[in-house]
Structure 1
Amino acid sequence: MAIILDYQLREQVPHDVEKFPITYFCDELAALPNWAGPLHWHPDFEIATAVSGVLDFQVGQHHVILKAGDSILVNGNILHGIKQLSGDIPDPMPNIVFSGALIASETSDIYQKYIQPVANCDALPFIVFDQKNSWHNEVNRLVKNVYGLMSEQGQCYEMAVQRELSSIFQCIFSNFDELPKTENTRIQINTQIRIQKMLSYIREHYAEAVTLEEIARSANISRSEAGRCFNAYVGCSPVDALIQHRLQVAHRLIKDTTRSLQEISYSCGFNSVHYFSRQFRKTYGYTPGQYRALGK
């Protein structure tokens, strides 16, 4: 299932929050251009695993390299994105997005004692579980069990998933003091908030004639400050980020609709089909027409 984002860039996770607040994904990268997912965020925890390739998991300004067998937990409301760095085929990258309330009610002693300290720790935007640490390997085993349970959905699988997630957080809490912490300054926190506001504006208005000043104004900052924020987190200018999002939307429309390339170009905010085609080829290595003809 491909990553689906609403206009505020919060991932639309289709799980029933009241009944069983967890969703399992697999093979997402195969549906994403260049096997790379855009920066996004959601209030839930996320755990993902590299299966066969090498993955670059961006969390905030940090780039975490996951090798086959490594997993990562991303805390809630943290900007994150993914890109595959190696491998001839897209990595399956199984992952789960879930609420801590699945383990225990937010008003319970269990949640407040064991889940909340992790969820509310600003210095812990992510945890990497590699294969060089014994308790990390135990978490990786438990995570793999959850993937299997969510995929098969056999009898009483919900109870088994809850049990495995509880064991994962027991491991995390028991080793909490030894986890590497990241000090986030007020400036860094404010920068991330600004990025979230500007990315949300781009996703909502990409089809319009958007200016740099309008993007900056959405976060109540100057154009130069907007450029600094984007370079720090996204590695490009705000206008380049706008163009890349337009191309991502166009890429999906070419694959999933029969609309003409001209219609797609204009609907994605490009005033020139030639410019659209040139930017598309520059980014993906083939023209829009080639992509549609080859069924990429």
Structure 2
Amino acid sequence: MPIILDHQLQEQIPHDSSTFPITFYCDELADLPNRAGPVHWHPYFEIATSQSSVLDFQVGQTHTILEPGDSIFINQNMLHGIRQLSGVKPDRFPNIVFSGTVVAPETSTIYRKYIRPILACNSLPFVVFRHDNDLWDEVRQWIRTTYFAMQEQPDCYEMTVQRSICCILETIFRNFDSLPKSNASRVQLNTQIRLQKMLSYIYENYAQRITLADIAGAAHISRSEAGRCFQSYLGCSPVEELIKYRLQTAKRLLHETTLTLQEISFACGFHSVNYFSRQFRKRYGYSPTNARIG
């Protein structure tokens, strides 16, 4: 199942999962350009696992290397993205996105005492469960059990999933005080909010003529401050991110539609086919025509 993002880059749990708020994803990297996922966020927990490759998992401004067998827990509302660094084949990269209400209702004592403190902790953006750390042996097993149950959906799989996630969150809560914390400053939090607004603007308006001033205006900041926000989180300028997204969209249209190069160029915000082709070749190493043939 592909990542579903709304116009604000929030990952969405499908509506048919509202009564059991958890979604399982797998094999996403195979369909992503350069095996790199878009930076996005969501008001849910996420757990993801590297199965066979080395992955660069970005949470906020922090890049964490996941080796095969490592898993990561990401807290709510954290900007994050993924990039595969090694391996001939795309990593299967199983992951789940879920609400704490899969364990207990928000009005319950369990949610209030054990889940909400994790959600509310800005200094705990993520937890890594290393494959060679005995402390997390049971957690990794519960994660595998959850993946299997969500994928195969045997009898009573919802109860298996609920029980496993409850155990994972309980372990995080019991080890809460000893887990490494990352105290984000107010400046960092503001930067993330601004970046979310500007990325949302790019994703909504990439097909139109967009200037650096337009992107900065989406967050009500100066062009120079917009540049600092993008550099600090994404290592590129706002315009570079805009072009990258336009090219990713164009590549998808080349594979999925029969639109002409000119039609795709215009649909993605490039108002010159020659410029579009040069930028495409610069990023991917081959022409748009060859991309369609491949």
Distance 1:26 1:15 in 2: 19
In the alignment, which residue of structure 1 is the partner of 2:221?
221
Deviation readout 1:230-251 (Å, 9 max, x if unpaired): 0000110000011011111111
Indicate how the Cα distance of structure 1 residues 4 and 284 shifts in structure 2: closer, same or farther if over 3 A, else same.
farther
Residue 127 of structure 1 aligns to a residue in which SS? Answer: strand
Residue 213 of structure 1 aligns to a residue in which SS? Answer: helix
Distance 1:49 1:184 in 2: 25
Residue type matched to 1:73 in 2?
Answer: F
Residue type matched to 1:253 in 2?
Answer: L
In the alignment, which residue of structure 2 is the partner of 1:233?
233
Indicate how the Cα distance of structure 1 residues 284 and 169 shifts in structure 2: closer, same or farther if over 3 A, else same.
same
Point out where structure 2 has 5 or more consecutive residues left out of the alignment.
Answer: none
Residue 97 of structure 2 aligns to a residue in which SS? Answer: strand
Deviation readout 1:133-180 (Å, 9 max, x if unpaired): 223121111101100000100111001100000010111111111100
Instruction: Answer yes or no: is 1:12 the counterpart of 2:12.
Output: yes
Give the CA deviation at 1:274.
1.3
Deviation readout 1:72-105 (Å, 9 max, x if unpaired): 0111111000000000000000000000000000
In the alignment, which residue of structure 1 is the partner of 2:168?
168
In the alignment, which residue of structure 1 is the partner of 2:254?
254
Deviation readout 1:184-207 (Å, 9 max, x if unpaired): 000000000000000000011100
Residue 96 of structure 2 aligns to a residue in which SS? Answer: strand
- Indicate the larger mover: 24-33 or 166-175: 166-175
In the alignment, which residue of structure 2 is the partner of 1:32?
32
Work out whether residues 71 and 128 of structure 2, in 8 Å CA contact, stay in contact via their aligned partners in 1.
Answer: yes
Indicate how the Cα distance of structure 1 residues 80 and 178 shifts in structure 2: closer, same or farther if over 3 A, else same.
same
In the alignment, which residue of structure 1 is the partner of 2:146?
146
In the alignment, which residue of structure 2 is the partner of 1:60?
60
Residue 105 of structure 2 aligns to a residue in which SS? Answer: coil
Residue 161 of structure 2 aligns to a residue in which SS? Answer: helix
Residue 57 of structure 1 aligns to a residue in which SS? Answer: strand
Distance 1:22 1:64 in 2: 24
Residue 38 of structure 1 aligns to a residue in which SS? Answer: coil
Give the CA deviation at 1:285.
2.0
Work out whether residues 71 and 140 of structure 2, in 8 Å CA contact, stay in contact via their aligned partners in 1.
Answer: yes
Distance 2:277 2:223 in 1: 28
Deviation readout 1:223-268 (Å, 9 max, x if unpaired): 0000000000011000001101111111111111111121011000
Residue type matched to 1:76 in 2?
Answer: Q
Work out whether residues 2 and 32 of structure 1, in 8 Å CA contact, stay in contact via their aligned partners in 2.
Answer: no
Give the CA deviation at 1:11.
1.6
After TM superposition, the structure 1 = structure 2 runs for residues 1-296 of structure 1, keeping only pairs within 5 Å, are 1-16=1-16, 18-294=18-294
Count of paired positions: 294
Residue type matched to 1:103 in 2?
Answer: V
TM-score normalised by L of structure 2: 0.98
Work out whether residues 17 and 23 of structure 2, in 8 Å CA contact, stay in contact via their aligned partners in 1.
Answer: no
Distance 1:107 1:137 in 2: 31
Give the CA deviation at 1:15.
4.9
Residue type matched to 1:288 in 2?
Answer: P
Residue type matched to 1:4 in 2?
Answer: I
Residue type matched to 2:186 in 1?
Answer: R
TM-score normalised by L of structure 1: 0.97
Give the CA deviation at 1:7.
1.8
Point out where structure 1 has 5 or more consecutive residues left out of the alignment.
Answer: none
RMSD: 1.0
Residue 106 of structure 2 aligns to a residue in which SS? Answer: coil
Q: Percent identity?
A: 62
Give the CA deviation at 1:5.
2.1
Q: Which runs of 4+ in 1 moved over 3 A?
A: 15-18
Distance 2:100 2:275 in 1: 46
